[in-house]
Amino acid sequence: MITPSGKAVKGIVAAGGRLLAAACALLFLQVAASPAEKAAGSAAESQRLSSPGELELRGIVAGGRLETLQWPQFSDYQTEIEEFYRSGGYALAWVRNSRPTAKARVVIKRLQAADNEGLLAQDYDSPLWKARLKELDLPGRPAAETQLLRFDLALTICAMRYTLDLRLGRINPQRFHSTFAFEPDISGPSDFLRRRVMSAEDVAAAFSALEPPFPSYRRLVHAVQRYKRMAGLDDGGQLPASKVPVRPGDRYPGVPRLTRLLRLLGDLPPRAVVGQKLYDGPLVKAVKNFQRRHGLPPDGLLGELTLRQLNTPLALRLQQLRLTLERWRWLPHRFTSPPILVNIPEFRLYAGNEPSQKVVVGMAFEHETPIFMSQLTEVVFRPPWTVPTSIQRSELVPKLEKDPAYLEKNGFEVIDGRDALVSSGTVSAAVLGQLKEGTLYLRQRPGPGNSLGLVKFLMPNSHSVYIHGAPSRRGFMGSERDLSHGCIRVEHPEALAAWVLRDRPEWTRERIRTAMSGTETVIVKLADPITVLIQYGTAAVGENGEVRFFDDIYSRDAAEAEAFDKRARTAALPAPHAADVHVDEIRSGVVTHTSAP
């Protein structure tokens, strides 16, 4: 098994086809229980229920609602809960001798600390467990059986919710990105709880096995914990606006607040000496570091964009980190070889341990690059470009109307539906009419001026999106690089081609350059396709622990944050509105598709 690590996943957050189920990648039983775990599970005697008690437990499970829960409705987990208790003979799982077991207490502590994993502890009854434990721990007063079974069932339901959320995420990604596909290989969360958690010597390790096994994910978890602490310490003050950018050496009334904030964030060293009125010295250096971490030009000026980022509440930064973790949970956990990852808001591509590259992505609101997973199957050197009909009609036909010689000047030719050449010179009125109608097509000849550059990386998908070079470096110079019609332009296609073909010794750097500078189109098919993940994460943590944030260019954070927060509010609703994905559908590999809000 190969998992991305190091530079390959530095900046990625949270993959072709449709998501049969985000859950289909659940690997609950991928690692067999150890002999010690099996022994521990068999040694402990279950607390049996009386016949009336068993009937009561069965009745509550069949009804899918437990009133003592913070979110009473559990119809979406009903099948798994029923299986959990049936497999244990309807005995209590977390109670022995009418007292909560030591394992129950460990699991409860894990649920109460769920915020540290980027989840919401309130989803797992965090505020209620202290009182529940106290009621069952009263000396000399054994709890009634009905109280014990409700405690046991509540812990099972909350642990089930936590298990699924930790592995799959809190929200159904199909509502936003319906183009993921994983292979189903799960046995079920009920088996995981009974065979891995209940018998585990180390409960934390058992749950950790559910999480994405990527260093980038763990670094994000640590960042969540750090920003959670900082959000509690920050006074939330706002920096005053300025009609003109504040320059080094200027007086600025926001210096005290700026100093406090940058010290808290770690951009300003704790012992740096800073004045109270002038914006200068170490404070300017700290602002430059802040700007770099937030995708801004590090010019040291306190302009509108920099002040907006500085005034963003840390609670929103925490939300960005949580959403990025959420998207990581939607990804497969295993790859046969290191994948290529593109993080859209970061405008960067990662491939193995190669240095990351700048990319240009689709224009916000107009031609957004979709989020999907595919397989890179071909590398094409000196590719021609068949112009999409929409671009042909909206952009190139108007240019031809103004200048009939535009095609010849820019290396285009007219072809028919069979790719046969119709014209490569001045366009006649008749040909122009057919181009407008879409019965003839435009194709740009290969060469340095071709819009795809000199290399194209094909990855079959329903969006007709691929990775390619560019005729110039101009588009890579700015910090905001959402400039394309949806495809992904890579700054150094030669380097990416060398990495993609690294297992083909005949494809040396010299041969790659020769193919790029030749006269013919050369197609290289990959024997082993490479996974490509087009992802969307507005936060990332480097190997050095530096936390970076990026603009939500497609407003995905806003939409998904609403769903992230809304799930708890809808948990008390009657089925089927309580959840988008039902556990029985997860087990069968089928998920109900829901329309986007």
Tens-place pLDDT, residues 55-94:
999 999 999 999 999 989 999 889 999 999 999 999 999 9
Longest dimension (CA), the chain: 99
Q: What is the pLDDT of residue 136?
A: 93
Cα–Cα distance, 389 to 227 (Å, whole number)? 47
Q: Which fold has domain 346-384+446-535?
A: L,D-transpeptidase catalytic domain-like (2.40.440)
Taking the alpha carbons of 126, 128, 132, 133 in that order, is the dihedral positive or negative? positive
Measured at the CA of 325, the angle between CA 33 and CA 545, to 5 degrees, comes to: 100
Containing 206, the helix (H) or strand (E) segment is: helix 203-208
Residue closest to 197 by CA, chosen among 172, 166, 224:
166
Phi and psi at 344, nearest 5°, equal: -60, -55
Spatial separation of the C-alpha atoms in residues 562 and 560, rounded to whole Å:
5
Residues written for the chain: 597
> Residue 225: which residues within 8 A CB-CB, separation 6 or more?
116
- Distance (Å, whole) CA 312 – CA 562: 18
If you compute the radius of gyration of the chain from its CA atoms, what whole number of angstroms results?
29
Task: Return the C-alpha torsion angle 331, 335, 339, 343, nearest 10.
Answer: 10
Report the distance separating Cα 119 and Cα 322, nearest Å: 7
> Which architecture, in CATH terms, is 237-312?
Orthogonal Bundle (1.10)
Confidence at residue 23, expressed as pLDDT on a 0 to 100 scale: 37
Euclidean distance between CA atoms 545 and 526, whole angstroms: 36
Q: What CATH number has the domain spanning 386-445?
A: 3.30.1490
Q: Give the closest residue to 321 by CA, choosing from 418, 223, 255, 389.
A: 223
For 403, the token pair is 């200048």
Q: Using CA atoms, how far apart are residues 13 and 219, in angstroms rounded to an integer? A: 11
Tokens representing 556? 């995905």
SS3 110: helix
189/508 Cα distance (integer angstroms): 48
Q: Are 477 and 425 spatial neighbours (Cβ–Cβ below 8 Å)?
A: no
The answer for residues whose C-beta is within 8 angstroms of residue 140's C-beta and 6 or more apart is none
465 close to 320: Cβ distance less than 8 angstroms: no
| Residue type (1 letter), 523 | I
Q: Could you identify the residue written with the tokens 């180390």?
A: 202
- Alpha helices (H) along 486-555: 493-500, 509-517
Q: Among the residues of 395-492, which ranges form H helices?
A: 397-402, 406-410, 429-437
Please name the residue that has the structure tokens 């319906």. 178
Name the nearest CA neighbour of 148 among 75, 57, 45, 82.
Answer: 57
Number of helices (H) and strands (E), helices first, in the chain? 21, 17
- Buried b or exposed e, range 119-151, using 16+ CB within 10 angstroms: bbbebbbbeebeebeeebeeeeeebebeebbbb
Residues in contact with 468: Cβ distance below 8 Å, sequence separation at least 6, in sequence order: 383, 452, 453, 455, 456, 457, 487, 488, 489, 490, 493
Question: What 8-state DSSP symbol labels residue 416?
Answer: -
- C-alpha–C-alpha distance, residues 451 and 468, integer Å: 9
CA distance 377 to 441: 26
Short-list 574, 572, 579, CA closest to 594:
579
Looking at this protein, which amino acid is placed at residue 515?
A: A
Q: According to the model, what pLDDT value does residue 45 have?
A: 67
Q: Which residues of the chain have pLDDT under 70?
A: 1-45, 172-187, 567-597
Domain boundaries, the chain: 20-216+555-588, 237-312, 346-384+446-535, 386-445
Three-point CA angle 290, 293, 299, nearest 5°? 55
Residue 503 one-letter amino acid: D
